């Protein structure tokens, strides 16, 4: 039997995130994004939309975990990758992976030119 453990949603203004990234530079990027995410976003025509989508997904995971940025949550412990079909998928590492052992995460991303939304559902398998 499976049950919903948590739901999280986040909305990011692309221009605001771009401004933060330009002001804080490499420090912000290396603190928040994995090397894989950074390479992916930088390969795109509109990289800031893709950075914003990944940032929103990480925030949505933190909200779904009900920990926010405290506890076991670390930015780079949540990585957003794309399936060959283009569908986004979350890979978990270290503390977050441990905290969500036995769970499946569902991720949906959507965006306009200026706004990105991420929706995450954490589903836990019950014994």
pLDDT tens across the length of the chain (127 residues) = 579 889 999 999 999 999 999 999 899 999 999 999 999 999 999 999 999 999 999 999 999 998 765 666 789 999 999 999 989 999 999 989 988 899 999 999 999 989 999 999 999 876 5
Question: Rounded to whole angstroms, how far apart are CA atoms 72 and 61?
Answer: 12
For the chain, domains (ranges, CATH) are 2-125 (3.90.470.20)
Residue 83 φ/ψ, nearest 5 degrees: -70, 165
Question: Rounded to whole angstroms, how far apart are CA atoms 46 and 49?
Answer: 6
């Amino acid at each position: 039997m499976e049950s919903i453990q948590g739901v999280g949603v986040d909305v990011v203004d692309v221009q605001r995130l771009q401004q933060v990234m330009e002001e804080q530079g490499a420090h912000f990027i290396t603190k928040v994004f994995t090397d894989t995410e950074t390479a992916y976003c930088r390969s795109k025509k509109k990289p800031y939309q893709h950075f914003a989508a990944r940032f929103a997904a990480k925030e949505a995971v933190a909200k779904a975990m009900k920990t926010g940025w405290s506890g076991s949550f670390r930015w780079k412990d949540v990585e957003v990758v794309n399936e060959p079909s283009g569908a986004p998928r979350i890979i978990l590492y270290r503390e977050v992976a441990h905290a969500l052992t036995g769970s499946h995460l569902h991720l949906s991303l959507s965006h306009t030119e200026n706004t990105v939304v991420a929706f995450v559902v954490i589903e836990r398998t019950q014994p």
